Chain A
Amino acid sequence: MAHVLDPAQRALDDPCPPALIARRDPRLRIVLAGLFACVTVCLSDFAALGGALALAVLALTLSGLPPRRTLRRMAGMDGFILAMLILLPFSVPGSPLITVWGFTASREGLAQAVQIALRANAVILMAMAMVGSMEAARLGSALHALYLPERLVQLLMFTTRYIEVLREEYLRLRVSMRCRGFKPGTNLHSYRSFGHLLGMMLVRALERSERVLGAMKCRGFDGRLRVLDTYALSARDLVFGAIGVGLMLTLIGVQLRHGFA
């Protein structure tokens, strides 16, 4: 998915040797990432959560994704939960840790904040490493092979196909606005112009969707999706899957031991 707006990759089967994870069956990668998310969300022990994050970092190194850009994307997600993480120590009652401007932060609240941060980052990093390293088209056909509803897969495929076309349309309209001296500001004229821009994009998108449907009908479309890719699990896929599940069981084991201690 990370490739949707990335012109660098031009074909599904890139000629450069794919990374270890990229060679594994896409279905397996989706399922493992899903399982990992479920397991990680259930963990609360710090050793287990640290292990989960370490596992996600390991997956990142095996995924062939550029680490810096991927970590920056992860930080982008952190931006969304930052406010909650900061407020949590102050809103959860418990033994006082420090006091800022008359507000007391609790030890329990801080622990919860750290847990959430670890969980969220481990899950998002694993998702990017396992699923994000997949071209959107492949993700769609893999989800189809995993029996996800056809409508949802079609929606995903159309979105990834036309997002670029829409963006180009938007950029063209913006350029033509700029060419006629438009400078965005905080005034009614700017708001109205942006309204027109959005409205025009909606109208064009609607018309385009009608033309696309026409073109599809011309080629015998009857509402059913047919995918060319077929998938088969190889022995290496099975080993990879077994190692993945084994590591997740280890995380659960760590959690249980510390939980009972």
Chain B
Amino acid sequence: MALLDLQDIDFAYAGQPPVLRGASLQMRAGERLAISGDNGAGKSTLLRLIVGLLRPTRGTVTAFGRPRLHERDFHEVRRRAGYVFQDPDDQLFCPTVAEDIAFGPLNLGLGRAQASEIVTRVLDQLGIAPLRARITHHLSGGEKRLVSLACVLAMEPDILLLDEPTNALDTTNVERLTEILQGLPQAIVLVTHDPQFRTRIAPGGLRIEDGRLIDAS
């Protein structure tokens, strides 16, 4: 069964020429896929369409075996497809790291104790346990990136949607992120401009050109 199946997607922002014209994409469990393309080609738009923050003007989004049409349908998709935003400041809005990571689990209806356990587990998994009580806006860029990944992993997703995760990271932090991502079992859709990072995380790749997804190789 395909985790994601996007068929013939058209999308245009209000009052602007179409970004996507007939884009299609399939993902299977555990698969890793990199998506490249010029600035404004529609890479982030594609990720937003997958989790239903945007709706296509034409075409269908099927996720985890079911067609997704309405806001209601996407609630499950958002839990199972963890979207890591391009700018961690957009994602980390809680005062402390622990609260931010617990935000998702609490929304899923877990109790405080359970959420707290998940926070500990995810922090340990990423090796950032000392950050637990830190205040999110005082974190460094690299720390913010790892914490925003932790926030998404706390939802125990089946697939990760990573939007330019190496943006504004130095080489040490890129290295650390690479190691962490290589050790994760999840399927990954990776949007990046960084060719080296792409080869190490998701060798199989697509490119957005003229609103379509084509094989990058």
A-side interface residues toward B, CB under 8 Å?
A: 7, 9-13, 135-138, 140, 157-158, 160-162, 164-165, 208, 211-212, 214-222, 226-228, 230
Say whether A140 contacts B104, CB under 8 Å: no
Chain B 12-54 per-residue mask, 1 if CB under 8 angstroms from chain A, else 0: 0000000000000000000000000000000000001001010
Complex CA gap A162/B75 in Å reads 26
On whether the beta carbons of A164 and B103 are closer than 8 Å, the reply is: no
Docked-complex contact B138 and A226, CB < 8 angstroms: no
Residue of B nearest to A8 (CB): B138
A153 to chain B, nearest CB (A): 11
A221 contacts which chain B residues (CB < 8 A)? Answer: 103, 107
Q: B65 to chain A: closest CB distance in Å?
A: 20
Residue from B51, B116, B135, B155 in contact with A11 in the complex, judged by beta carbons closer than 8 Å: B135
A216 shortest CB reach to chain B, Å: 7
Asked if residues A218 and B103 are in contact (CB atoms below 8 Å), the reply is no
Determine the distance from Cα of A218 to Cα of B91 in the docked complex, in whole angstroms: 10
Chain A proximity of B22: nearest CB distance (Å) = 25
The answer to whether the Cβ of B85 comes within 8 Å of any Cβ in the partner chain is yes
Evaluate contact between A228 and B98: CB separation under 8 angstroms.
yes
Give the shortest distance, in Å, between B162 (CB) and chain A (any CB): 13
Residue pair A226, B91 in contact (C-beta under 8 Å): no
Contact A218 B78 (CB under 8 A): yes
A-contacting residues, B92-141, CB 8 Å: 93-96, 98-99, 102-104, 106-108, 112, 115-116, 133-138
Chain B neighbourhood of A12, CB < 8 A: 95-96, 133, 135
The answer to whether residues A161 and B107 also contact, given A10-B138, A214-B53, A228-B112 and a CB cut-off of 8 A, is no
- Whether A220 and B93, one on each chain, are in contact in the complex, defined by CB atoms closer than 8 angstroms, is no
Judging by beta carbons under 8 Å apart, are B133 and A218 in contact?
no
15 other A-B residue contacts (CB within 8 Å) besides A11-B135, A220-B78? A7-B138, A9-B135, A10-B134, A10-B135, A11-B96, A12-B135, A137-B96, A157-B94, A158-B93, A161-B93, A212-B90, A219-B107, A219-B155, A222-B107, A226-B106
